[in-house]
Amino acid sequence: MRLPKSAHTSLPWRIHELTRDFSVEDVWSFRTPGAGPGDFPAMLAAMRAAMRATGGPARLRMAVLVKPNGRFGRLYMAAIAPFRYLVVYPALTRQWERAWRAHLERTSR
């Protein structure tokens, strides 16, 4: 589910120190059935992704940070936005959900 940018910017994430001159492009929350904050595979830690308790089941949050280089960079980001929303993000979501379900199967044995 897409979240407002403040869902990322209002929290004291360490990434803010490293990305002061970046802008937040998108913030997402993903289902992680049966997950706890320490359970998500480490391979996604390189992305700005984190488990966050939400009052119910923990959810994976991903923020997309960008630093467009000049006018061309801004135009490029605007041009690829439909592709990101219609192809890239849905594919990432499906891949993460498959990986998470496989992780749960391996750890529940």
User: pLDDT tens, 56-81?
Assistant: 666 777 777 777 777 887 888 889 88
Residue 21 pLDDT greater than 50, yes or no = yes
Q: Enumerate the domain spans of the chain.
A: 2-107
Mean pLDDT of 5-13: 86
Listed range (8-12, 65-69, 76-80, 95-99) with the worst mean pLDDT: 65-69
Q: Structure pTM?
A: 0.53
CA–CA separation, 101 and 103 (whole Å):
5
Phi, psi of 56 (to 5 degrees): -125, -140
3-state class (DSSP) for residue 66: strand
**Would you call 109 exposed, middle or buried from its count of C-beta atoms within 10 A (0-12, 13-18, 19+)?**
exposed
Place of tokens 């496989």: 102
Residue 48 has pLDDT above 60, yes or no: no
Provide the pLDDT for residue 83.
Answer: 92
